[in-house]
Structure formats: C-alpha cells, structure tokens
Amino acid sequence: MTNNPQQDELTQIIRGFTLLMGLHCIAIMLIFIVGFGIGMIAGGYTFLGIWIVGAMGFLFWQLLYVIPLILRFRHRRQFAMMKGIIIGATITALVNGACFLATI
C-alpha cells in the first residue's frame, strides 16, 4: 500500500493549524493571568483594561510566536505545517479585525 501524498499534506496542514490554535489558547490564558495579576496588585478594575487591550491587540501578540514558528518549519522544510500555521494566523487576523471593527 502506498500513502497518498495529498492526504499526508492535508494531515500536516491540519496539524499546523491545530498547533497554532493550541498556542492561541496558551496566549489567551497568559493575557488573562497577567491582567488578573496586575489587577490584584493595582486594585480596582485595571485588569479589564489589560484584557481589552490584550484582546484588541491579539493580532500583534500572535506575531510573537507565529513568525518564529514559520521560520522554524521553513528551516526544517516542513512546508505543509508552515501552510497550516499561516492559514490559522490569517483566519485569526481576519476574525480579530472583524471583531475590532464591530466594536467601533
């Protein structure tokens, strides 16, 4: 039996997309933890401001880990995983931009 190369590439693209979504979950948890920690120190409702800024600027936060991931997979010549990460980052940017525009 031979493996279908298109199916293998699709599997790798899905794995890259899933990896990025997992990293998004970790980044969102970190934003909430940092906001809550600063809110505990500063008091009041300062954590809400940090959460709002973190959510609205999530497009830029994701660049901190998306660009190194893309470079790493490009260096390893795993182009299908790189495609999945790029697709996920693009979808995240579009959703984030749409939500930002909806709040204006």
Q: Can you tell me the distance from the alpha carbon of 67 to that of 70, in angstroms, rounded to the nearest whole number?
A: 5
Question: For residue 55, what are its two tokens?
Answer: 């959510």
pLDDT tens digits, one per residue of 30-48: 988 988 888 888 877 777 8
Q: How far is CA 93 from CA 78, 79, 82, in A?
A: 23, 21, 16
**Section 57-72 average pLDDT:** 90
- Give dist(CA 81, CA 14) in Å, integer: 8
Tokens for 48?
Answer: 């809400």
Q: Which of 8-12, 36-40, 45-49, 81-85 has the lowest mean pLDDT?
A: 45-49
Whether this prediction's pTM lies above 0.85 is answered by: no
Q: Where are the domains of the chain?
A: 21-103
DSSP-derived secondary structure for 66-82: HHHHHHHHHHTT-HHHH
How far, in Å, CA of 32 to CA of 27, rounded?
9
